[in-house]
Amino acid sequence: MKTPRNPVPTVDTIIELDSGGLVLIRRKNPPPGWALPGGFIDYGESAEDAAVREAQEETSLNVQLIELLHVYSDPRRDPRKHTIATVFIARASGTPRGTDDAAEAAVFYEHNLPAPLAFDHAKILQDYFTYKRTGQRPRYS
CB distance 106 to 96 below 8 Å: yes
Cβ neighbours for 29, distance < 8 A, ≥ 6 positions apart: 101
Catalytic-labelled residue, pool 45, 48, 57, 104: 104
Closest-CA residue to 22 (of 10, 41, 32, 35): 35
For the question of residue 57 being annotated catalytic, the response is no
Give the CA diameter of the chain.
Answer: 55
CB distance 48 to 64 below 8 Å: no
Task: Return the DSSP state at 80.
Answer: T
CA-CA-CA-CA dihedral for 132, 133, 137, 140, to nearest 10 = -120
Active site residue ranges: 104
